Amino acid sequence: MEHLVLIVLAIILYLLATGSFSARLLLADKNDISLLHPTALATGALGAVLHALLLYGQLLGHNGLNLGFFNAGSLVGWLMVLLVLVAALRRPVENLAVFILPIGAVALFLAAILGGPPASGVRPTAGLEAHILTSMLAYAVLSVAALQALLLAFQDHQLRNRHPTGLIRYMPPLRIMEEILFQVLWAGFVLLSLSLATGVVFLDDIFAQHLVHKTTLSVTAWIVFAILLFGRIQFGWRGRTAIRWTMGGFLALMLAYFGTKLVLELILQR
């Protein structure tokens, strides 16, 4: 019963924070929004704390680690929430927050009802835990980048078609949106590089039969993001080019982790 109360409370806090961030966007030209930003941050942070407590029980048990499909999704959702809350301290990312906080709520709910019991088995070594942590962080950061790219694509489409109305009126200027995208991409690329490096060092064989698809797709994603960042530095890539490369790299990464998990765990039930 206590577990259920925490789940419901965390979801409510996430939704309340979403409402506060939305109100801040919609009332950006008013004089009565000074309290909305700290309120949104505090409410979202409290929801994230409860989410973390629930994650601890879902992921760990009897020295085992349960990173099944839905539990992994909940962990990624929580990391995305943390990232956007931290970013909101200094950057105009309210438009990202109104999408990411509900994603965190949905991920928590699905893990609570479909995540399964805590694992029982041998706890991973410190090296393997480092690989898992950097992998999940990389996926979370690059998920934020993909969402930012989608918002940027919407903004670019509206401006090109001369329809600067609706949601676009509450978004930062295109230049700021692109700056945020590439800042997130650089952070995600560094983490993905660390993930691959720790995999090479601490996994017995990253091209073993059950890992070959994940490794190949992860390396493909790394190459795509490397080309994009090189193109940004060397040729000033931006706009639609940056959006396409970002989404291509994220698609490869999504298939690498959640695509393989979906097939192995939910379809083949291995």
For residue 62, what pLDDT is reported? 56
User: Of 32-41, 144-153, 207-216, where does the model show the most confidence?
Assistant: 144-153
Res. 158: pLDDT tops 80: yes
Dig out the tokens for 219 from the structure.
């390396």
Q: CA-to-CA distance for 125 and 127, rounded, in angstroms?
A: 5
pLDDT in tens, 101-128: 999 999 999 998 887 665 555 567 878 8
Question: Residue 184, class by beta-carbon neighbours within 10 Å (0-12 exposed, 13-18 middle, 19+ buried)?
Answer: buried
Query: In this prediction, what percent of the chain has a pLDDT beyond 70?
Result: 84
Q: Residue 69 has what pLDDT? A: 86
Please state the domain extents for the chain. Answer: 1-123, 126-270
Condensed to tens digits (0 to 9), the pLDDT of residues 197-249 reads 998 888 776 666 566 888 899 999 999 999 999 999 999 999 999 999 999 99
Q: What are the tokens at 98? A: 């109104």
Q: Supply the mean pLDDT for the chain.
A: 87
pLDDT at 185 over 80: yes
Mean pLDDT in residue range 12-23: 94
Average pLDDT, stretch 241-261? Answer: 92
In this prediction the pTM is 0.91
What is the distance between the alpha carbons of residues 143 and 199, in angstroms, rounded to a whole number? 20
With 0-12 CB in 10 A as exposed, 13-18 as middle and 19+ as buried, what is 99?
A: middle
Residue 267 reports pLDDT greater than 70:
no
In the predicted structure, residue 194 carries a pLDDT above the cut 90? yes
